[in-house]
Amino acid sequence: MNNPKVSIIVPCYNQAHYLDVALQSVLNQTYFDWECIIVNDGSTDNTQELAEKWILKDNKFKYLVKNNGGLCSARNFGIEQAQGIYILPLDADDKIAESYIALAMGAFEKDMDLRVVYCHAEKFGLETGAWNLKPFSLFNLSQNNMIFCSAFFKKQDWIAIGGYDTNMVHGWEDWEFWISLLKNGGNVHQLEEVCFFYRINPNSMLQKMNLEESKQMMEYLSIKHIDFFVKHYGSFKALSQETERMKHDFEEKLKSEKFVIDVFFKKFFGFSIFGKYK
């Protein structure tokens, strides 16, 4: 298929056992004008075997292979090859509702100033139920991330901000991406429907960001987006105080074993602290 309107990017690193569910949810879409790019980020499992099966099933599936470089690198690699006007990242262990693309394209058609379209979400796997996140606002975004990775944006906007920042090596890559994309304006729309399903799996709990890593990422974010944070906290002093408050709050709560478990499910400081992808 030439020039699809939507490109779905599925990075995969040793997640072949989940891949069928994610790709089936893509194939089930009621909206036809899409391509799905599977990016094998140096997997050592049978990702290639499964990907080739899906290519034979439908030629809208495409397969790319690269050396392992992490989630940001894999997403960027796939988006570079994408032919679509709109991009939808989808992690290999998650899934989407069959109406997601159709509803999102309808939203973009109604508002040409939209930069991001996302939806309501539910968890599945080890935990089920609604994934309750704060409503979007730039101020809320300055405090925490509330837009999961599987949201729609335009490829031209991805190009304009330089893609996903590969310096976000420990996590929070989605938070940084949305700040880069939205801090200078652009509308955001959340669909009323539940269209994204986020898998809670055992490996997620083994890959948490430690205090030193979180400090590094917070310092990097604060420097890169100092204009954004100062705008919402009022001054360098207020920004410093807020950073110290967040750090202290995080350290205190990490002392509680109960919180360490709870933080995984509630995604304190953004859902990437316990990233599923390494």
With 70 as the cut, is the pLDDT of residue 269 above it? no
Q: Within 13 Å of residue 1, how many CA atoms lie on the same side as its CB?
A: 20
**Cβ–Cβ under 8 Å, residues 108 and 117:** yes
144-169 mean pLDDT: 96
Report the pLDDT value the prediction gives residue 254, as an integer from 0 to 100.
Answer: 59
Give the dihedral sign, CA 240/243/246/248: negative
Structural tokens at position 9: 């990017």
Res 202: pLDDT: 75
pLDDT over 70 percentage in the chain: 82
Q: Is the pLDDT of residue 145 over 60?
A: yes
Per residue in 104-131, pLDDT (tens digit) is 999 999 998 999 999 999 999 989 999 9
Residue 60 pLDDT: 97
Cβ(125)–Cβ(197) under 8 Å? no
CATH superfamily membership of 6-206: Spore Coat Polysaccharide Biosynthesis Protein SpsA; Chain A (3.90.550.10)
Judged against a pLDDT cut of 80, whether residue 52 lies above it is answered with yes
Place 35 in a pLDDT band, splitting at 50, 70 and 90: very high
Domain positions in the chain: 6-206, 211-266
> Which token pair is 193?
């429907």
Confidence of residue 273 (pLDDT cuts 50, 70, 90): very low
Q: What is the mean pLDDT of residues 234-263?
A: 61
pLDDT at 204 over 80: no
Decide which of 235 and 179 is more confident: 179
pLDDT at 237: 59
Look at 9-23, 48-62, 215-229, 249-263 and tell me which has the smallest mean pLDDT: 249-263
* Statement: residue 265 has pLDDT above 60: no
pLDDT of 87 over the 90 cut: yes
In this model, does residue 46 exceed pLDDT 80? Answer: yes
SS3 for the chain, per residue? CCCCCEEEEEEECCCHHHHHHHHHHHHCCCCCCEEEEEEEECCCCCHHHHHHHHHHHCCCEEEEEECCCCHHHHHHHHHHHCCCCEEEECCCCCEECCCHHHHHHHHHHHCCCEEEEEEEEEEEECCCEECCCCCCCHHHHHHCCCCCCCCEEEHHHHHHHCCCCCCCCCCCHHHHHHHHHHCCCCEEEEEEEEEEEEEECHHHHHCCCCHHHHHHHHHHHHHHCHHHHHHHHCCHHHHHHHHHHHHHHHHHHHCCHHHHHHHHHHCCCCCCCCCCCC
> Residue 267: its pLDDT value, please?
46
pLDDT digits (tens, 9 = 90+) for 215-243: 899 899 989 999 998 888 776 656 666 66
Mean of the per-residue pLDDT values for the chain?
87
Does residue 71 have a pLDDT over 70? yes
Scanning the structure block, which residue is given the tokens 């917070």?
218
User: Which residues, in sequence order, are bridge partners of residue 51?
Assistant: none
Please give the C-alpha separations between residue 72 and each of 50, 175, 226, 276, in angstroms, as whole numbers. 22, 12, 22, 13
Give the residue among 30, 23, 21 at the shortest CA–CA distance from 8.
23
Q: Is the pLDDT of residue 274 over 90?
A: no
